[in-house]
Structure formats: structure tokens, C-alpha cells
Structure 1
């Protein structure tokens, strides 16, 4: 590439913000521009672009290729010296001006972001990328375009394999088969009031067809609750299909959800999407907060009209699918930031529930611990009976940012080293991961005083008394052998909420 050909790219330095003074802003910007030009020589920019994981191609307004980095060489199998100076469509003959994002951007002078594209190079190799294409403009004239390409061929192949496997499952099994279903409401461990109320509510709504939106922090068990709703519903013998919206780029997720028609893009075949496969059953859209706004509008149409249209099709297909969506971010924050459409939120949240984090249901920890111990006793062929009181006390102090999933991982990790008896504080030293390990080590640096250990013991006694009396203060005080007023004082002292036990 000649220096004159590359000059238009350097001119884009005018778009980089400079620290300017109010009175001499224009002069300061000119100085910064000259400094930028001196730093960004062709060799420097070449080194920077070659170091990126994304492919970079630059063309002029006549569609001559001026720059082509090493990453594109790896993606497309073409050497830069064999494409620089050639016309874009000579190198990629399968593209038409209408299909090429570069042609569209140069013609319209408007950028295109995250556009899925599939094409053949002149060697016949099929390329699948997600492109962002930006016009290069100076003095109101389009000088060319820069395109950034991310290779998604492997992701596409993986998604197609998943889709084919799902189709084979449906083809082999009767439509009454439950796909991927493992949990029922009996799988939910917990006696806390919040969990009891949540389960009671969801059992009532399970019999309807209304959409459900579930919010919960990572690790709280959102899919467990979603599957339980399906298992309790009249759709229990119909498909249950789950799709993580964060696992695939939006264009691939769209083809997976809605299906494709032969010829809709290069290599496309007639394939039903997940909506068609889940017909009569339930479709779980996990991490709906990661779905792009464009795809959200298409999802809204399915919810409102009960039909889907495959990519490239000219006809609609009626579907009867109950949607359960989950998010690990509060919907209020998603709406405020514009990452969730208001109309989709109102359509999804006909039934809206929040799963409490583990730190708000501490009375469930003991039951959960025993559940996981029994699970890994069976899996590891061991005979661990439980955890000692000090470990249980530590579990109830720790805030569990990873919630129930983190607790399970801790139990699993410890049980790799303990064969029988009770898990003690000394066994926790074997843990080699995570914030819980750091918490244990930090706590070990501050030895407990006699008073603090007595307080912990007293607190445990009070909690157990409240559990056995269903939160009745008078009966708990009698059980402990102290006056009612003395018990109330200790409840305030230890921050114990009696309502949690009623």
C-alpha cells in the first residue's frame, strides 16, 4: 500500500478526542493530529492490526483492497499480497453488491454493526463471520470503508450440530418426550419462608400458559425452578427445551430459534427452529438479558401472535409454546440501560418472580449441605455424615456470592479429601479455589476469642429453639430456660429475625 493510499486512513485521527483548551481548541486539535500522524506510520498501524484477533480489511471508494491483516489471512486462507490492489468482488466472487456490507456502507455512508455474513473466496472456501463495517469519511466525502471481522465458523458448526442432535432426539422419540428435563418442585431444597412461599406461588401458576420471567443471581437455581414449573404443568409430557441466549452470536441464535429455509443464505437448509421443536411444550430462554434488541423484537412477535417465520421464508408457522425467561440482572436495571425492551418485559413478566440469594435464606444451608453430602457420598462411594457445628457456623457467616452453586462446589471439593465422619474446619484447608477459600484463610488469621465462640454457640441454640417452636418467642424462651424479655434482647443482639422461622 502506498503512503498516499494510506493517508485517508490516518486522516481519521480527526475523530479521536483531544484535550483542548476553550480558547485555542482548534490549534490544539491540529497539534494532536500531527502528533498522531507521526506516531501512526503505516508500519505501526500494520503491526497493531496484525496483532488483533479480528480480521481487518480496508477498501477505497472504488472497492480496491488497500489493507488486509494477518488474521484475515488465517480466517480466509488468502495471503495479503495476493489480494491487495484487487477489486473486492474479484477476490470474493460469491458476493453481490447487495450482499456485501462494504458495498452497502460505502454507498450509504452509514456504519453496519454485528452483521452475520457467509461467502466464498475465489478458492471456493466458505467463510462465516460477524462483521462491523465503518465508512471512512473526510470533508463529507466517503473515501472508503474499514471492516472488522470475527470468525464464527466454529460456533456456527457447533450450533448446527446441537440443532441436528435436537432434531434427531425429536425424530427418535415421541412428541411427549421431555427433552433435558431433570427437576421437579420436589428437587427444591429449603424450608425457609421465602422458598416455601415461592414454591407455593409457582405451583399455582404452573397450570396456566402465561409467560414467566425469573430473576435471580448467578447460582440461585433459576433453571431448576423453570423445569419445576414445566413438570407441574399440563405440558409435562411435551418437550422442554432450554437455550442460553449468551452462548451464541445473535445471528446464529436467531437461526437456532426460528429455523432456516433452503437458500436463505449460503449452505442453508430447511430446518425447524427451537420454537417449532418445543411446540406444545415449554421453551426456556436463559439469560434473556444477553439477547440483542433486534432479536427481542422478533421474540415479541412470537409471543403476541403465536407464529414463527423461518429465516428466508415467506410464510408463518403457528406454534403453541410457553416461554420462561431468566435473567441474572435486575429487570429495572436492564430497562434503565435500554438493554431490555419495555414491551418485551411487560409481555414476559405476566408472572414475575425473584429467587432469593442464599445469604437471605441462611436457615436452608443445613438442609442444602446434607443434600449435597448425600449426593457426593453416592457419587464418590463415601460415608460422610455431615459437617461439625463450627463449619456450619462458618457457612452461615459467609455471604455466598455464588449462591447454592458455590455451596455445592465447596462440599464437592472437600469431599474429595474426606472419606467418613464429619467435615471439620481443618478439612477446609484442602480447598484450592474461590472466594470461600480466601474467606476461610482470612478468618483463620483472626482467632476467635472465648467470648465470640460463646456468642456463636448461644446464637445457634436460639436459632434451633426458634426452629422447633415455629418462631414462637414465648415457647422458645421456655425451651431455653430464659425469660421472654431476655430472648428478645438476644434476638436484637444477634440480628435474628423471628419471622424467618414462623
Structure 2
């Protein structure tokens, strides 16, 4: 009885919707997350079949299909409407429960994609209307630095802008991969055509496939006749950010697009010729991704016709002061201030710091300090919240010397690591938790434990 109570508590407190029907298709379980996704109360659905409370779902429901066909459906994209007429987009995995060769129930696990889909569509609309809106974009002049390796990569990118070949940009988080990508697009013949960036890590592959290739009515539940981003970007460029986040099947499908120059919308028998340049980015070494199976080798070779390797900031320390001064001037304009210098001792500490978050981390550090200073003309150490920059010990795992308990030593070490990674990620909780490989809830507990703001 106790284990059943624990399981019930767990299911009701996870983010995914859980919907269970019996062998007749009647709902026997419907958790809190499912209530939020579909805008219904469990009292309205228990004991009823799906099509009794959701519009046009008699033939399209994967729950009904799983019961009828004894078949598992994994990561299926569905569009449908609730009783209020609100459109819902979800990605569902549905499995039949079979005992003695008979289907006794079906379980559906649903991820709500409604807001993600809507936000991505709005973002893509903004990008497509970039020219009309006269939105600022990056160009080669925005790439700051005198480092020879960086200059070589910039020169390679300049030559890449004159062709239509695929480009793969590798660089650690925060090195400026999109700055390079935009510079290549806006520095070439496609500059007057759309530039559409897509964060592959933020969009599940099933939804991303529909967004890229487009759909025809009836191709899946609730599908509409809708052009994909390849058609919308025709003549322009699509940036696939963190392309290794795509499922292998989608990498294979994109490989065919790169080779053949046409697409087939989901559910369609017709092909559509396209002229779209692909620029892709990776924040992990391609060779390691291939070895681990996260990146198809054939897809990598087709993407990396031209490969750009952006050096991390720690390998171009001669550029740190110049970049810091650029951000000082930038935030002077944004914040209406008149700070003229960064203290020499601060610059010296900057040069000794590893900058795991690269240029993005440096930018965040300068922005935070600029918000703290009210008077004076020099940005000195006192205005910087990230004290790890000025304490080289935080950059190394020091040996325990026995002057404090091992427990306190480990707590101090954990606190320093959290502060460093938090600063690197612009104090973004989700990204920091992901890098530390812990849950958001666990990270929030530790932030409170160590009084980290």
C-alpha cells in the first residue's frame, strides 16, 4: 500500500502527462500534468473515451491505435483541440499493456510542445522579416581580436561567405559561433535572403522535423498544410545550432537534403526543390561525438565541407583586454554611463582566469560590474560579484591540507565550482544544472545552502 502511494505521488508530480485507458478505451488514470496540457480536469475524463472529450480524436488518437494494433508509438507529434477550441501540440509515446497475448490497457506519456512550437514559429517569423524590420545583425567587423589562429579562421570564413558550400563551426560554449555564422551569411551573395537560426537542442526531433520539412494535411493527427523552414528560407541560410542534438534518423534525412537539393514534406508524395545553405555548429569535438554515436560520420563529412574552429578565450589571452574594453563601451551606451577604464589589476586577474564560458562569460561579468558602479571613471575590483576571477585557487582543485574538516573542505570546493559554472552560464539555472549534471531542484537547494545569489 505504501509503495502504491509513493508511485501515485511520483506520477502526479512529474512534468510529463500520463494518460492510461483500459482495453475498451476508457480513461482509468489521468495525472496532474495531463490536466495542464489538455486544459481538463480528471473528473471530466475518467470513465470516458478520448473522442468523447477531445475534438476529432476518434481515429487519430495514438491510445486508440495502440489498443487496436498492439503497437508501440514512440515520439509521435500530435496537434489537436480541447473542448474549448485551444490548439494543443504534444509529443507522445504510447505503449499497449499486454498480458497473456491480450491488450488490457494502453499508457501514453505526453510532453507539452504547445508553447515551444508557438515561440519557435514566432521567432522564425521575426527572422524571416529581418530585412523589413531592419534588425541589426553581426558582420565580420564585429569579430574582435588579433590572435593569429582567430585571424586565420576569420579569413577562412570570409572565403566561405563567397560560396554556397555547407559550413561546420566548432567552438566551446560562448566563443561566438553565431557571430561567425551571421557574418558568413551577411557577407555573401545570400545576404538579402532569410537567415533562420534553429536551436536543435531546444526542440525535440519530431517537432523539428515538421518545422523543417513542412506538413500536409492528414500526415499525423491535426496536421495542416504548412510550409517548412526549408521552403521559407529558400535562397537563404539555415543555421542548425548544436546539430548533434538531433536524433540520428533526422541527421540521415538532412544528409539526403544536402546531397539531393530537395525535400519531401511530411505526408506528401511530391518533392520540392530548394536552394538553402546549411551552416551548423557544434560545442563538442566532432570526433568525440562521432565515436559516441551522437553524430553520424556521413552527415559530419557532408556538413564540414568548410570547417571553422573558433579558439577558446583562454587560448587567445592577448585579446581579453580588447574585448573587455569593447564591452565596457557597449554597456556605457546601454546604461548611459561614462566609465573610461578597467583597473589594471582587474585586467591582470582577467588574464590569469580560465574563462570556461569564454566571451559570453566575460560579457556577463562586465555587464554585472557596470550595473554596480554609480560613480567614478574606473571599473575596479570592488564592483565585480564573481570573486572566483580574483582567486586563482578556485581555478584549481587544491590539495586538502588538514586545517579544516574534510566535510567543510568539500563544501567549499562545491561552492566554488557552482559559483564558477553559474557565472559562466550568465547565472542561468537551467544551463548551469545541465552542465553540472544535476537537477534544477538540486541546484536550487545547493544555491540556498551556500547562500549563492
- With structure 1 as the length reference, what TM-score do the two structures score? 0.71
SS in 1 for 2:311: coil
SS in 2 for 1:272: coil
Question: How has the CA–CA distance of structure 1 residues 252 and 67 changed in structure 2, closer, same or farther, with 3 Å as cutoff?
Answer: same
SS in 2 for 1:57: strand
Q: Distance in 2 between matches of 1:81 and 1:52?
A: 20
Question: How has the CA–CA distance of structure 1 residues 52 and 191 changed in structure 2, closer, same or farther, with 3 Å as cutoff?
Answer: same
Equivalent of residue 76 in structure 2, options 115, 122, 125: 115
Q: Distance in 1 between matches of 2:123 and 2:49?
A: 38
Report the CA distance between 1:440 and its aligned residue: 2.5
Q: Distance in 1 between matches of 2:120 and 2:138?
A: 25
Does the alignment pair 1:159 with 2:120?
Answer: yes
1:98-247 → structure 2 map (5 Å cutoff) = 99-107=60-68, 109-121=70-82, 126-138=87-99, 141-166=102-127, 169=129, 173=132, 182-247=137-202
Q: Distance in 2 between matches of 1:334 and 1:90?
A: 47
Which deviates more, 320-329 or 45-54? 45-54
SS in 1 for 2:116: helix
1:392-411 → structure 2 map (5 Å cutoff) = 392-411=347-366
Equivalent of residue 312 in structure 1, options 267, 271, 274: 267
Q: Distance in 1 between matches of 2:119 and 2:180?
A: 28
Equivalent of residue 382 in structure 2, options 429, 432, 437: 429
Equivalent of residue 86 in structure 1, options 24, 35, 48: 48
* Contact persistence 1:261–1:271 (CA under 8 A): yes
Segments of structure 1 that go 5 or more residues without pairing to the other structure are 1-37, 445-502
Larger Cα-atom Rg = 1
Match of 1:70 in 2: 32
Q: Distance in 2 between matches of 1:126 and 1:193?
A: 53
Superposed CA offset, 1:387-432 (max 9, x none): 23221110010000110111111122222216553333xxx33333
Q: Distance in 1 between matches of 2:127 and 2:186?
A: 20
Report the CA distance between 1:200 and its aligned residue: 1.8
Q: Distance in 2 between matches of 1:420 and 1:290?
A: 46
SS in 2 for 1:127: strand
What RMSD over aligned residues (CA atoms) do the two structures have, in Å? Answer: 2.8
* Contact persistence 2:50–2:57 (CA under 8 A): no
Q: Distance in 2 between matches of 1:370 and 1:125?
A: 50
SS in 1 for 2:28: strand
Report the CA distance between 1:149 and its aligned residue: 1.4
Segments of structure 2 that go 5 or more residues without pairing to the other structure are 395-453
Q: Distance in 2 between matches of 1:283 and 1:386?
A: 40
Question: How has the CA–CA distance of structure 1 residues 430 and 251 changed in structure 2, closer, same or farther, with 3 Å as cutoff?
Answer: same
Report the CA distance between 1:83 and its aligned residue: 2.8
Q: Distance in 2 between matches of 1:346 and 1:180?
A: 33
Superposed CA offset, 1:205-228 (max 9, x none): 322211011111110000111112
Report the CA distance between 1:306 and its aligned residue: 0.9
Report the CA distance between 1:91 and its aligned residue: 4.2
Question: How has the CA–CA distance of structure 1 residues 187 and 63 changed in structure 2, closer, same or farther, with 3 Å as cutoff?
Answer: same
Match of 1:387 in 2: 342
Question: How has the CA–CA distance of structure 1 residues 422 and 90 changed in structure 2, closer, same or farther, with 3 Å as cutoff?
Answer: closer
Question: How has the CA–CA distance of structure 1 residues 77 and 407 changed in structure 2, closer, same or farther, with 3 Å as cutoff?
Answer: closer
The count of corresponding residues between Structure 1 and Structure 2 is: 393
Report the CA distance between 1:262 and its aligned residue: 4.8
Report the CA distance between 1:363 and its aligned residue: 0.8
* Contact persistence 1:109–1:135 (CA under 8 A): yes
- With structure 2 as the length reference, what TM-score do the two structures score? 0.78
Match of 1:440 in 2: 390
1:454-473 → structure 2 map (5 Å cutoff) = none
Q: Distance in 2 between matches of 1:199 and 1:415?
A: 30
Q: Distance in 1 between matches of 2:233 and 2:79?
A: 28
* Contact persistence 1:373–1:411 (CA under 8 A): yes
Report the CA distance between 1:189 and its aligned residue: 0.7
Question: How has the CA–CA distance of structure 1 residues 145 and 408 changed in structure 2, closer, same or farther, with 3 Å as cutoff?
Answer: same
SS in 1 for 2:339: strand
Report the CA distance between 1:165 and its aligned residue: 4.4
Match of 1:40 in 2: 3
Q: Distance in 2 between matches of 1:353 and 1:163?
A: 25
Q: Distance in 2 between matches of 1:125 and 1:385?
A: 54
Question: How has the CA–CA distance of structure 1 residues 180 and 241 changed in structure 2, closer, same or farther, with 3 Å as cutoff?
Answer: farther
Q: Distance in 2 between matches of 1:161 and 1:240?
A: 14
Match of 1:374 in 2: 329
Superposed CA offset, 1:425-464 (max 9, x none): xxx33333xxx433435769xxxxxxxxxxxxxxxxxxxx
Which deviates more, 120-129 or 205-214? 120-129
Report the CA distance between 1:277 and its aligned residue: 2.4
Question: How has the CA–CA distance of structure 1 residues 74 and 415 changed in structure 2, closer, same or farther, with 3 Å as cutoff?
Answer: closer
Q: Distance in 2 between matches of 1:195 and 1:125?
A: 50
Match of 1:57 in 2: 19
Which deviates more, 350-359 or 237-246? 237-246
Which deviates more, 354-363 or 155-164? 155-164
* Contact persistence 2:21–2:27 (CA under 8 A): yes
Match of 1:487 in 2: none
Superposed CA offset, 1:227-283 (max 9, x none): 121233222333322222223233332232223345555665544322222222221
Match of 1:286 in 2: 241
